[in-house]
Copies of this chain bind each other. A is one copy, B any other.
Amino acid sequence: MTERTDPANRAAPPEHCGPIRIGFLGMGVVGTGVVELLLKQRETIQRKSGVQFEIARIAVSNPDKRRAAIVPQNIVTANVEEVIDDPAIHVVCELIGGIEPAATYLHRALAAGKHVVTANKQLLACAGHSLMEEAEAGALDFQFEASVCGGIPLIQPMKNALAANEIRLVAGIINGTTNYILSEMEAGHGDFETALRSAQDLGYAEANPESDIEGHDARFKIAILASIAFTGRINVAAVPVEGISHITPRDIKYARDLGFAIKLLGVARRVTNTDVEVRVNPALVRTDHPLAATHGVNNAVLLRGEPVGEVMFYGRGAGAGPTASAVVGDLMDVFRNIRHGATGRVPCTCALPLQQVHPDQAVTRHYLRMTLRDRPRTLAEVAGVLGEHQISIQSVLSLQPEEVSFGYNEVVWLTHLAPWGAVRSALATIELMNGVESIGASIRIEDLK
């Protein structure tokens, strides 16, 4: 316990007595990376944080599984209680993933007075608030830098160095798998299916790639970033999500000809003081914007705030090394807080009531591609329907690529700003019109202002 202190006093920080004991829940690729880093950099970590630490216990579902030699086998157990209930464990490092049983375990760990470091984005996005409230009530640390974009510092900078800003926009490439696939397509290495197989061959995409390519992984991450940026809770279920499986090489080519790259973005925008727009969708980004220069499995997150202006963070968003960097960074933060009797120093910042605007109300420009019968009045009729929906046209290109049958044109429209609801409704009408063969694509243009 600490007493009141006058800030003008020179208070020598107390030494923590004995090593801080870390218990692990889960020991897969990331966990092994964390243990490796803790052992390799032990001297540096102890010097910088001012404490000794010990890897005390590792709970796994199958303790007999062969593991990397660096994981001390004698502390591996199948009994999770040996981590979450043992009073000798000070910090629980949760690397199981998923909501349950991780949430139950961490509630018990917090109830037992343990600090928590986790890399679990789904848990954070879907059930983080009750855990953070419980941590705050107990003045316990609850850190989760590794849950978003691996090794790229984002949570800590938003909660600390940038904390005085009013953040107005978070927009990022926050899923490496889909960025790899889109980069491959951009480089002319085939269509979506080909690029996906290449990603799977390289271990960038899982055998079941749905969570990545349909945008669910990005949804968890943008929900976490938005809640910190706007200091309020985000309802993940109300975040509209659109994946990339319908993006074609043709759209990528047309976009490039028009000066854009196509990226899967998580976007969180402050619309008013209480209304926020949070969504995941592929988008056209101007090729001269730094986000467009983010290739392969790299991630990049742009923050726009007042008064800092535009700040961008870039790096590897996944993998054992980058994730271990973030987990151990969080552990060092906890170590310092324990040493200084300051745990719970930066608690959950979700203080404001936020309203998520309906997806129909999200306003952007749009890229629309459709196949029209090659007769003069069809284009005018389509333009008329767009006009009836208050959608202004910035440019229209009528093309005859070899993929389109004789007697048809491929028409690409770039609109001015329009709410998605209006575009959706216009497209529903256009699709049924005489002379309209098909709607090929409708992709947002993200101006990032």
Contact = CB atoms under 8 A, between A and B. Distances in A.
Interface of A: 1-17, 20, 33, 37, 41, 44-45, 47-49, 87, 90-91, 112-115, 138-140, 145, 151-153, 156-157, 159-166, 231, 290, 293-294, 305-316, 319-322, 324-326, 328-330, 332-333, 336-338, 340-346, 349, 351
Contacts of A320: 307
A449 B41 CA distance: 22
Contact of A162 (B17, B49, B329, B336): B329
Contacts of A293: 290, 293
A160 B114 CA distance: 21
20 contacts: A2-B3, A3-B341, A8-B114, A11-B343, A11-B344, A41-B166, A48-B159, A153-B160, A153-B161, A160-B160, A160-B333, A161-B326, A162-B325, A164-B328, A164-B332, A165-B325, A309-B315, A309-B322, A313-B314, A336-B342
Contacts of A113: 8-10
Given A2-B5, A153-B153, A153-B160, 11 more contacts: A4-B16, A5-B338, A7-B20, A48-B159, A48-B163, A161-B329, A311-B313, A311-B314, A313-B313, A337-B345, A341-B341
Contact of A325 (B7, B305, B313, B332): B305
B160 A332 contact: yes
Nearest to A17: B4
A378 B306 CA distance: 59
